[in-house]
Amino acid sequence: MIDRNLRDTTFVIPIMVDSAERLENFRHVINFLHNNFSTRSVVIESGDRHSFEIARLVQDVHKFVPMEDGVFRRTHLINTGIKMATTKYICVYDTDVFFDIQAYGSAVEFLRNGSALVYPFGGKMGDIDRSF
């Protein structure tokens, strides 16, 4: 059975919209998370300008951090998002990744049972066809 109650978990998602594909990937990721789980998200966007599409898609917390010197400072954005999270558990999430739906609940269950860090990646990778 899939644990869909992840209210104690915040997904921190750093993003720079550098292409239409990245925006499309983000749209799929954020919709997947909120359609399948009761959870929170903190989206930290960086770039030359704010994406109104990102702001429209985010249901929880969204912050824009202007890019300095044309460099995407991923670690800084992650740390900013972690400070904004209000839940016990945090998942640093990428805009180009999906896991098996059962992996999300299993990973959080490991954390709830005392694990300090969980990587729900089993080594298999695949390409998702755009028509999916």
Q: What percent of the chain has pLDDT over 70?
A: 88
Q: Amino acid identity, residue 10?
A: T
* Closest of 97, 101, 102, 85 to residue 41, by C-alpha: 85
The pTM assigned to this predicted structure is: 0.87
Q: Please report the pLDDT score of residue 23 as a whole number.
A: 93
- Residue 43 pLDDT grade (very low, low, confident, very high; cuts 50, 70, 90): very high
Q: What is the pLDDT of residue 127?
A: 62
pLDDT score, position 15: 95
Determine the residue type at 98.
F
SS3 28: helix
Q: What is the pLDDT of residues 60-107, one digit of tens each?
A: 999 999 888 888 899 999 999 999 999 999 999 998 888 888 888 888
**Neighbour count for residue 12 (Cβ, 10 Å):** 23
3-state secondary structure the chain: CCCCEEEEEEEEEEECCCCHHHHHHHHHHHHHHHHHCEEEEEEEEEECCCCHHHHHHCCCEEEEEECECCECCHHHHHHHHHHHCCCCEEEECCCCCCCCHHHHHHHHHHHHCCCCCCCCCCCCCCCCCCCC
pLDDT tens, 49-60? 888 889 888 989
How many C-beta neighbours within 10 Å does residue 99 have? Answer: 14
Whether residue 117 has pLDDT greater than 90: no
